[in-house]
């Protein structure tokens, strides 16, 4: 199972919006709406941000939003803040009843 493809890095200024893409195949992202997103500050446990493509768990800021078109899912962070600087990963359930993560995107706040 190959990792989902994400851009290595994305950057933006405070207050701006950025979008991170996550591209898979019809056997994972394109075949199911079980796409989730995670924020990871190195040294800490990953934080659960989005489930089922576009749903936010309780307590997650509404600045984080998700969407999907075909085999590509996206995470948008609006009103970028310094605390958003972290690594972001998408994940998808697969046709083999397994999971696959994205390659990860480092977000830098300029």
Partner 1 sequence: EVQLVESGGGLIQPGGSLRLSCAASGFTVSNKYMSWVRQAPGRGLEWVSVIYSGYNTHYADSVKGRFTISRDTSKNTVYLQMNSLRAEDTAVYYCARVIAARLAFDIWGQGTMVTVSS
Where does this chain bind partner 1 (CB under 8 A)? 1, 3, 32, 34, 36, 38, 40, 44-48, 51-52, 55, 57, 87, 89, 91, 93, 96-104
Quote the Cα angle for 56-64-21, to 5°: 105
Residue whose CB is less far from partner 1, 51 or 63: 51
For the bound state, the minimum distance from the C-beta of residue 62 to partner 1, rounded and expressed in Å, comes to 18
Residue whose CB is less far from partner 1, 32 or 64: 32
Q: How far apart are CA 101 and CA 56, in angstroms?
A: 18
Q: How far apart are CA 39 and CA 26, in angstroms?
A: 25
């Amino acid at each position: 199972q190959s990792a989902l493809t994400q851009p290595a890095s994305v950057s933006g200024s405070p207050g701006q919006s950025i979008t991170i893409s996550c591209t898979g195949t019809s056997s994972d992202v394109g075949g199911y709406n079980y796409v989730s997103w995670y924020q990871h500050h190195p040294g800490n446990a990953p934080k659960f941000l989005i489930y089922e493509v576009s749903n936010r768990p309780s307590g997650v800021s509404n600045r984080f939003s998700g969407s999907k078109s075909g085999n590509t899912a996206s995470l948008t962070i609006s009103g970028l803040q310094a605390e958003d600087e972290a690594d972001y990963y998408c994940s998808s359930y697969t046709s083999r009843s397994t999971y696959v993560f994205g390659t990860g995107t480092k977000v830098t706040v300029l």
